[in-house]
Structure 1
Amino acid sequence: MESTPTVLIVEDEQMLGDLFATWLEPEYNVRVENDGEQALEHLDGEIDMALLDRRMPGLSGDEVLDVIRERGFEFPVAMVTAVQPDFDIVEMGFDDYLVKPVDQDALLSLVGTLISLPSYEDAIQQYFQLASKKAALEASKSDSELESSDEYSQLLEQYAQAKRQADQKIETIADDIDFSELDDEFDS
């Protein structure tokens, strides 16, 4: 029997962290930490994915993410935050980015998708990460800002290459995610 996946929620607003936990607990084991330091103290190999707020007192979600990756944890991480994405996200090691407010369906969909990511080959993971960053920037930046950004141009090149590699892998991967729908969503 497969074990129930564990989701780490790092959210400084305790009521919001508890609400996310309530939404997820029927399907997942959930740990809620209300600051970055506590999250890092309790970081272990039982965690299957993390949801991080970016703006918290003490350690920010960005810093927590850096430490997670520095310690060699490769589980999926989503930023769930009120911070609108900026070009700095291109270099960050997260797998998805949701801007608050977030509803229950969006959070459940995000967690379900990311929990399944480790079972996919690296090419698909890379494509998903780049597509998420591309969509986040396109939702928050004007066309002129995007066109004048070297980071965004680099992201588009990486995205195109990752898409080609992912397309080659899709036929051999289980149908857990319909990538054609993801591509349509991120290309629009």
Structure 2
Amino acid sequence: MDSTNPERPDGSENRPNVLVVDDEREVADAYALRLKGLSDTETVYDGESALAHVEENPVDILLLDRHMPGPSGDEVLEVLTDRGFGGRIIMVTAIDPGFDVLDMPFDDYLCKPLEREDIRAAVDQQRLVLGYETLGDYFAAESTRAILRSELPADRRDSHSEYQAIERRTERLKRRATRLLDDPERLFEVFDGIDREGR
């Protein structure tokens, strides 16, 4: 497994976590190199390792080769879907797409060979999509947390398991949105400035 930890070109220290999965090591390593400066990128070289990595580590964007010896990229995609994987999946493959892709729950499909700028653009686009999806989830959870915080005393909140769960969820979502988006602080400030308690 190889890892790179560069800064994004905009100078941000926050980057998406990308996992590249390809059974051709030189191809996977080349993609990781092409993403240098854009993401924190790790590589694995088979489907089993990909599933294990996703189980144990936060992954925002997965670059997944379709044609690999057992399990194939298609099978990895199916397992991740069944597990409720919360990231974005880009199929990266030499297999020309057919009508079979209509039922495959990927987020983008890139055909090899890939130019450096194409893979960077695809990853950056999925970063933004996931970032705004995460931001929407955060706002929904945080509005619930905020109104309960304003209406209920601390001792009742502290002893309520569901309230504690939503506190943990909002913090997790906020951290992810901050990692994925370039300037989420302004959006957080606007959200926090809304009076939800009424007059």
Fold similarity call, TM over 0.5? yes
TM-score normalised by structure 2 residue count: 0.58
Counterparts of 1:2 and 1:29 in 2: how far apart (Å)?
Answer: 10
Matched, 1:102 2:114: yes
Task: Structure 1: give runs of 5+ residues left out of the alignment.
Answer: 123-173, 175-188
Matched, 1:11 2:55: no
How far is the alpha carbon of 1:56 from its aligned partner? 0.3
Q: What is the identity, as a one-letter code, of the residue corresponding to 2:41?
A: V
1:67 corresponding residue in structure 2: 79
1:33 corresponding residue in structure 2: 44
How far is the alpha carbon of 1:48 from its aligned partner? 0.5
Counterparts of 1:17 and 1:58 in 2: how far apart (Å)?
Answer: 17
Moved over 3 A (4+): 119-122
Give yes or no for contact 2:47–2:72 (8 Å, CA) kept in 1.
yes
**Which deviations, in whole Å up to 9, do the C-alpha atoms of 1:52-79 show, x marking residues without a partner?**
0000011111111111111111211010
1:115 alignment partner, SS class = helix
1:42 corresponding residue in structure 2: 53
| Pair 73,2 (structure 1): closer, same or farther in 2 beyond 3 Å | farther
1:81 corresponding residue in structure 2: 93
Q: What is the identity, as a one-letter code, of the residue corresponding to 1:93?
A: P
Give yes or no for contact 2:38–2:120 (8 Å, CA) kept in 1.
no
Paired residues, number: 123
What percentage of aligned pairs have identical amino acids? 42
Counterparts of 2:87 and 2:60 in 1: how far apart (Å)?
Answer: 6
1:118 alignment partner, SS class = helix
Q: What is the identity, as a one-letter code, of the residue corresponding to 1:61?
A: G
TM-score normalised by structure 1 residue count: 0.61
1:58 alignment partner, SS class = coil
Calculate the aligned-residue CA RMSD, in Å.
Answer: 1.9
